[in-house]
Amino acid sequence: MMREGIVFASYGTLVDEARRTDIAPVAEALADAFAGLPFAEAYTSAWVREHLAKRGIASTSLGETLASLSDEGVTRAIVQPGLIVCGDAWDKLAAEAQALAERFPDGLLLGRPLLADWRDQMEVASVLAEALPPVPGHSFVLVGHGTNGVADAAYAGVVEALHAAGRTDFALGLMEGTPDADEVAKKLVRNGTHSATIVPLMLTAGSHVRRQLAGEGAASWTSRLNAAGIATDCTLAGLGSLPGVSAIFVRHAREAEAIR
């Protein structure tokens, strides 16, 4: 008899607040959507798991989580990644799940990242437009992590959708890639922008995000935009804090496809 279970697999974070505000809402939405099924969370970062363990906080890898569900009698599992784009992290997660596929005789299914296609990008654009209403003379800089050229196009798709909807007050930057902070600053200055809010285009605003985007050092994005004459602040909430984003992850879990 088939018994189904579901896993939410995110990178994880050491920031307690980010786990509560950015990861927990998505996990809760998935658990509610699949009420009655065994549900578990996994953190894909070994570094995060190791440092949480030093603080007495238990967490498990995706492989450990899937093995545990299999041992509990789950025969069909859905893995929903908390990833934003189909980049290197996606490939690693898919490979780790694939290695356990044989333990699930009724199938191991994998949901897509948040920005898997144009529909997703338009939906996220709509969520952001509602969460961040326009302010005269003010811009919002969406900053993604960045991965590789092909996957990075998904970030650009969100801004393209915003611009198509008339929200030209949004700009895109990448922590690892282009446009970087200096390129964004130059563009904002050319457009006559005098103030901006940096918004992480990531599931969580973890420790490295907070340092790179909102840190007090001269190299942070906030400092570099300020140096260009743009009064800049930074929101420390990740995309996981927005209910509309959780809804997309739930849809992707329902649409999950079997790993082959």
pLDDT tens-digit map of 129-181: 999 999 999 999 999 998 766 778 999 999 999 999 999 999 999 998 899 99
Model confidence band, residue 23 (pLDDT cutoffs 50, 70, 90): very high
232 DSSP β-pair partners: 196
Burial (Cβ within 10 Å: 0-12, 13-18, ≥19) of residue 54? exposed
Mean pLDDT of the chain: 94
Instruction: Measure the CA–CA gap between 207 and 185, rounded to whole angstroms.
Output: 23
First-residue to last-residue Cα distance in the chain: 22
> What angle is formed at CA 120 by the lines to CA 118 and CA 121, rounded to 5 degrees?
65
Write down the domain spans for the chain: 4-114+242-258, 118-239
Whether the bond between 200 and the residue before it is cis, its omega within 30 degrees of 0, is no
pLDDT digits (tens, 9 = 90+) for 92-133: 999 999 999 999 999 999 999 999 999 999 999 999 999 999
Architecture of domain 4-114+242-258: 3-Layer(aba) Sandwich (3.40)
CB 140 within 8 A of CB 170: yes
As a whole-number percent, the residues of the chain with pLDDT over 70 amount to 99
Helix axes 62-71, 88-98, angle to 10 degrees: 30
Instruction: Measure the CA–CA gap between 184 and 150, rounded to whole angstroms.
Output: 20
CATH class of 118-239: alpha beta
